Structure 1
Amino acid sequence: MGINKRDEGKKVNSNINVTPMVDVMLVLLIIFMVITPMLNNKVNVDLPKADAAVVMEDANKEDAVTVAVTRDGRTFLGSDQVTVDDIGSKIAAKLENKTNKEVYFRGDSRANYGKIMDAVDGIRSAGVSQIGLLTEKTEK
């Protein structure tokens, strides 16, 4: 009579299963791809609605110069808060080496009109002749 002996300890599987890691990485990649376009407008502004809105594709570019005025009257150049007195010099510095000298303006629909005009005057003091006023298209 013989003894049956199992030699499972000698057959150790040393392969790494990377399938769960690849699944997690693909889900993270999809999440980042969906969220990244939403990060362009870092300042929350309720844009006014317009019927005859023209699409400005250049406003969504990463190097576009964007000025925003919030409802409480704060002025932002990109995502940095600036004063109305400094906005002209900072815009002039950003547009110094650019061929397209257009600035895109995002004004809150409930903002004080005087604050918006002060920001527009600051933009004009930088020598900018093209200001793109960003709005949302009215849904019909």
Structure 2
Amino acid sequence: MKVQNEAKPFDTINVTPMLDLAYVLLVIFIVMTTASVQGLKINLPKPSNKPSMEKKEVRVVKILQDGSLTLNGAGLSMAELESRLTAARARDPEMSMAIAGDPQVNYAKVVDIIDMAGRLNISNVGLVTAKIGV
């Protein structure tokens, strides 16, 4: 009779306890990392004593259906528009300008006005997309 109780060598390793240990260490790492971060330190800008909302006049250039130009409702030519915008920019270097083009007008006229604003160093230029009452 042969005894069947002989010890056989194991050919596999049980990795379950090692995985349990790895998961516990991962949880401890996550908890300790998030507990050490209290918040972000941000240097916020300080308010100045100047008035916060200065009202500045916006020059509205309208290009009508026939290609004529108006500045705040007054009709003028391209040369007159450039001279008036130059004078306004000399008075207020941070002036704003809005360009309202009629839907039927050739877009090249709008581009000419934008180019003129670039030559005059007017940086606050907007395109009006809704009807305005000027």
TM-score of the superposed pair, with normalisation by structure 1: 0.47
| Structure with more relative contact order (C-alpha pairs < 8 Å, separation 6 or more) | 1
Larger radius of gyration: 2
